[in-house]
Amino acid sequence: MTYGATILDADGLRLSADEKAFFRDADPFGFILFARNIETADQVRALCGDFREAVGRDCPVTIDQEGGRVQRLRRPLVREWLAPLEHVQRAGENAERAMYLRYRLIAHELHGLGVDSNCAPIADVACAATHDFLKNRCYGTDTATVARLGRAVAQGHLDGGVLPVLKHIPGHGRATADSHLDLPRVGAPAEELEQTDFAAFRALNDLPLGMTAHLVYDAYDSRPATTSPRMMQLIREEIGFDGLVMTDDISMKALKGSLPDIARDSIAAGCDVVLLCNAALKDRIAVAEAAGAMTEAAQSRAERALAARKPPADLDIQAAEDELAAFMGGQVYG
């Protein structure tokens, strides 16, 4: 079976008849949840079941549950967290263990709701110019720290039975614009990027899933990384990432053109899967048709990623919370 080269979402709390029929035919690799898809724990589990029933397999269901501003699940369903950078700063010398525990608890919550993937860790290296939409979502301002904490975040997910999605490859930290609204351009020289931004991702290049950055790197190409064959080559060969690469949401304003054209350009550049969010059903249909089925190489990466999805290890919730609280001076949650 070859999967459709898309990750798609749903309009509401359960799938409509039209969505079920479309997903059955298009067979997207996986799905993503947003706040509009979330009401109660039982409803979220039922919606995840709808997705899997529609495609007839145990497909991955992902979400953005970083903590801070970016957490689709909220109280009372789950814990709400400080922004990642604040969490790191509060934990100080215990940041590595504190980040592991944070995301181990998040993974426990997600897995219990039927969600088995999360769009984290972020390996973007923050700097003075990093746009506010991203800055406090980062883990630090130097490559070694970001890579070390990114590894802890990834392991927390994997130990909880949840696949981590490494983002935003090959590095979003230098962006001075919000790629949801504009196309950021990075003018740093290639050597500097390779030693800092790209190096953080190289240290995590064994992770199963990754997400692109909608940024132009002037030293390499005039096209955004998501639709740039040169940047995708860099991700594969120079960063050495051989996991499944999904685009960031192609409906973001950083990318210009029709959604089907962007989907085709992303696949042609070397992305394995196109992520489309918050679009009308007709647009999801058009993008699924444009993206087509996964290539043989993409399918192989998809199967390897799914094989990394393991049952959760045992977790003493109270002990994890107590240990984390000790690191955080009592303020663990947002």
Catalytic residue among 180, 206, 218, 322: 180
Confidence of residue 332 (pLDDT cuts 50, 70, 90): confident
Cβ neighbours, 10 Å, residue 16: 13
pLDDT of residue 275: 98
Q: How far is CA 21 from the centre of its chain?
A: 26
Q: How many Å apart are CA 160 and CA 93, to the nearest integer? A: 24
Q: How many Å apart are CA 168 and CA 135, to the nearest integer? A: 13
Catalytic residue among 159, 221, 248, 272: 248
Give the global pTM: 0.98
Asked about 248 being catalytic, the answer comes back as yes
pLDDT of residue 334: 83
Asked about 180 being catalytic, the answer comes back as yes
- DSSP, residue by residue, 264-299: HHHHHHT-SBEE--S--HHHHHHHHHHH-BPPHHHH
Residue from 34, 25, 37 nearest 288 by CA:
25
pLDDT of residue 333: 87
Give the tokens for residue 67: 């903590």
Confidence of residue 330 (pLDDT cuts 50, 70, 90): confident
Q: Are 34 and 9 in contact (CB under 8 A)?
A: yes
Confidence of residue 134 (pLDDT cuts 50, 70, 90): very high
Q: How many Å apart are CA 332 and CA 79, to the nearest integer? A: 10
Q: How many Å apart are CA 110 and CA 229, to the nearest integer? A: 34
* Domains along the chain with CATH numbers: 4-8+60-327 (3.20.20.300)
pLDDT of residue 329: 86
pLDDT of residue 59: 98
φ and ψ at residue 330, rounded to 5 degrees: 90, -25
User: Residue 91, CB half-sphere, CA atoms under 13 Å: how many?
Assistant: 25
φ and ψ at residue 211, rounded to 5 degrees: -125, 140
Give the tokens for residue 173: 């930290």
The residue whose two tokens read 């010398």 is 93
The pLDDT of residue 1 is above 90: no
Confidence of residue 228 (pLDDT cuts 50, 70, 90): very high
- Where helices occur in the chain by DSSP H, the ranges are 17-26, 41-55, 84-91, 95-112, 132-135, 143-159, 190-195, 197-202, 229-233, 259-269, 281-291, 296-307, 317-327
Residue from 307, 301, 251 nearest 271 by CA:
301
Segment 82-130, tens digit of pLDDT: 999 999 999 999 999 999 999 999 999 999 999 999 999 999 999 999 9
Q: How many Å apart are CA 314 and CA 320, to the nearest integer? A: 11
pLDDT of residue 10: 98
The residue whose two tokens read 């604040």 is 86
Segment 42-78, tens digit of pLDDT: 999 999 999 999 999 999 999 999 999 999 999 999 9
Segment 269-322, tens digit of pLDDT: 999 999 999 999 999 999 999 999 999 999 999 999 999 999 999 999 999 999
**Alpha carbon distance, N-terminus to C-terminus of the chain:** 43
Q: What's the Rg (C-alpha) of the chain?
A: 19
Query: Burial of 151 by CB count in 10 Å (0-12 exposed, 13-18 middle, 19+ buried)?
Result: buried
For the chain, give the mean pLDDT. Answer: 97
Segment 161-194, tens digit of pLDDT: 999 999 999 999 999 999 999 999 999 999 999 9
